[in-house]
Amino acid sequence: MTEPRRPAIRPNAMADRILGLALAFVLAACSGATASPTPEPTPRPTPTPVGLPVSNPQEAAALVLATNPLFSDARQLDPDLIGQSRWWAASPLADGGYTIEVTVGWGDCPSGCINRHVWTFEVTADGTITLAGETGDEVPQPLPE
């Protein structure tokens, strides 16, 4: 004697979807794979021709300091001030412009800053800014105080 056939039981389609989503979440959580954050690049100065004539080192420095958010707190170098971590210094160029050196330091700056990075710009008398070079330690992001 053969057993009577039972009707096939079809699970609820919505329950299938919920179960599938729950399984996907569990597998993702158990996989151990985590997305690693993408490091932010060091902000680089973006010199642009401004077209504002400069007649003194303070005007040239103001143009340069506006090129990079790292320079926002930079003040003119005061050799008698202890603990400066961001400063600029100027020297005249033959064409009436200025060389502006911007220094950003970090790491125990009350003792003279363990690390520092220096950007050198040339600012012509007509206000054109050129990054002439940079030296020093790689600037960490975010910059420690």
Count of domains for the chain? 1
Contact present, 127 and 47 (Cβ < 8 Å): no
Q: What is the pLDDT of residue 60?
A: 96
State pLDDT tens for residues 81-106: 888 899 999 999 999 999 999 999 99
Closest by CA to 54, choosing from 68, 69, 65, 70, is 65
For the range 78-85, what are the long-range contacts, defined as Cβ-Cβ under 8 Å and sequence gap of 24 or more? 82/110, 83/109, 83/110, 84/109, 85/109, 85/113, 85/145
Average pLDDT, the chain: 79
d(C-alpha 132, C-alpha 118), whole Å:
11
Residue 130 inside a domain? The answer is yes
Is the confidence at residue 6, as pLDDT, over 90?
no
Residue 13 inside a domain? The answer is no
State pLDDT tens for residues 16-25: 555 455 555 4
Residue 24 inside a domain? The answer is no
Residue 131 inside a domain? The answer is yes
**DSSP character at residue 54:** -
pTM (two decimals): 0.65
Residue 110 inside a domain? The answer is yes
Domain that holds residue 62: 57-136
For Cα atoms 135, 137, 138, give the angle at the middle one, nearest 5 degrees: 105
Is the confidence at residue 28, as pLDDT, over 80?
no
Q: Does 109 or 121 have the greater pLDDT score?
A: 121
